Structure 1
Amino acid sequence: MRMIIVAAVAALAFSTAAVQAAEPIEGNWKTASGATAQIAPCGGSFCVTLKSGKHAGKQIGKMAGAGGAYKGTITDPDADKTYSGSGKVSGNSLKMQGCVMSVFCKTQTWSRL
């Protein structure tokens, strides 16, 4: 019985680690406007920095999370307003969402480069 429990715990730990590693947010992404954004580790989170376009070099977000689900803040660079944000990675797509008061939300889908 003890071996079954140990095997089940090991299998659960392995599958959780595999899911977390399966959907990394790090990398270069094509935004909805066509600009390139880089998402890289920074201070225990992930920073979103525009690499091309009108606002190249500007950090527009900071998120924390793992396993494909991330939360933090995102800035609309044109309006220079910051919102509560989230990102969900699914394969080569990243669904970015910014919300005001968790009610009024806008979503964009970015593509991995």
Structure 2
Amino acid sequence: MIRKFMIATALVAMAAGSAMADPIEGNWRTQAGSTAQIASCGGSYCITLKSGKHAGRQIGKMSASGGGKYAGQITDPESDKTYKGKATLSGSSLKLGGCVLGGIICRNQTWNRL
């Protein structure tokens, strides 16, 4: 009886864990018009282009900082340069930024949830 209860509890916990996806996860329309997928990967969130010229390429990895903010690295697929990146989630918009030289030179984009 106890064993059945423990198995049932474990199954419920696994189902609840998969249903509680982070709000950043999903498909996003990039500023260039491509589709990017953000998915959980080893305790972080990997950003992979799903359409466009660089489809299939992973272009970033972010970790949650709290309060809808994320930090990590982002790669410009055109130049193949990787930058210190950050992202801020606000409703169905995701503002991404990448900086070099200690934050002196930055580029920002806003993506929209699909």
For the aligned pair, the TM-score class normalised by the smaller chain equals 0.7 to 0.9
CA distance in 1 between partners of 2:56 and 2:67 (Å): 27
One-letter code aligned to 1:104: I
Residue 99 (structure 1) aligned with residue 99 (structure 2): yes
Higher relative contact order (CA 8 A, sep 6+): 1
* Correspondences of 1:1-113 after superposition (within 5 Å): 24-65=23-64, 66-101=66-101, 102-113=103-114
Instruction: Read off the aligned partner of 1:26 and give its amino acid letter.
Output: E
TM-score, structure 1 as length reference: 0.78
- In the alignment, the residues of structure 2 paired with residue 57 and residue 91 of structure 1 have an alpha-carbon distance, to the nearest angstrom, of 26
Cα distance between partner residues in 2 of 1:61 and 1:68: 17
Indicate conservation of the 8 Å contact 1:24/1:67, yes or no.
Answer: no
Mapped to 2, the partners of 1:67 and 1:112 lie a distance apart of 18
- Structure 1: state its 5+ residue gaps: 1-20
Between the aligned partners of 2:84 and 2:42, the Cα distance in structure 1 is 19
Code of the aligned partner of 2:49: L
TM-score normalised according to structure 2 size: 0.78
Identity of aligned residues (%): 64
Letter in 1 for 2:80: D
**2: CA distance, partners of 1:52 / 1:67:** 29
Residue-by-residue CA offset, 1:61-104 (whole Å, 9 max, x unaligned): 00001431000000000000000000000000000000002121
Q: Write the distance in 2 (CA, Å) between the matches of 1:103 and 1:89.
A: 23
Please report how far the alpha carbon of residue 24 of structure 1 lies from its aligned counterpart in structure 2 after TM superposition: 1.4
Out of 82-91 and 65-74, give the one that drifted further: 65-74
SS in 1 for 2:79: coil
* Alpha-carbon distance between aligned partners in 2 of 1:25 and 1:97, rounded to the nearest angstrom: 15
